[in-house]
Amino acid sequence: MKIVALCGVGVGTSAILKINAERALARLDIEAEVTATDIAGVSTVGADAQVILTSSELVGSIGKTNADIVVIDNYFDVDELAAKLETALG
């Protein structure tokens, strides 16, 4: 399973989201590859992803995808990530 953590530039924010998504997945006992990327790389990196995690501001920039797009309000809230990942993957 592949999950993409997406931010505008693909450096700081997506790295934080990636780490916290991995923590949330560990809580849920779900194994997945989590990759961080930016808007420019999402079509390539996210081509085979099941889930794309991002902010509401970037949803419109993602383009066509077969992945479930999950909007995260607080990238630091592992509880929010766990709940939304559980729903998306369950």
Q: What is the pLDDT of residues 40-68, one digit of tens each?
A: 889 888 889 999 999 999 999 998 899 99
> Where in the chain are the domains?
2-77
pLDDT at 10: 56
**Fold exhibited by the domain 2-77:** Rossmann fold (3.40.50)
Strand blocks (E) in the chain: 2-7, 33-38, 51-54, 68-71
pLDDT at 11: 66
Give the model confidence (pLDDT) of 4-25 as tens digits: 999 887 568 889 999 999 999 9
How many CB atoms are closer than 10 A to CB 55?
16
Give the model confidence (pLDDT) of 19-42 as tens digits: 999 999 999 999 999 999 999 889
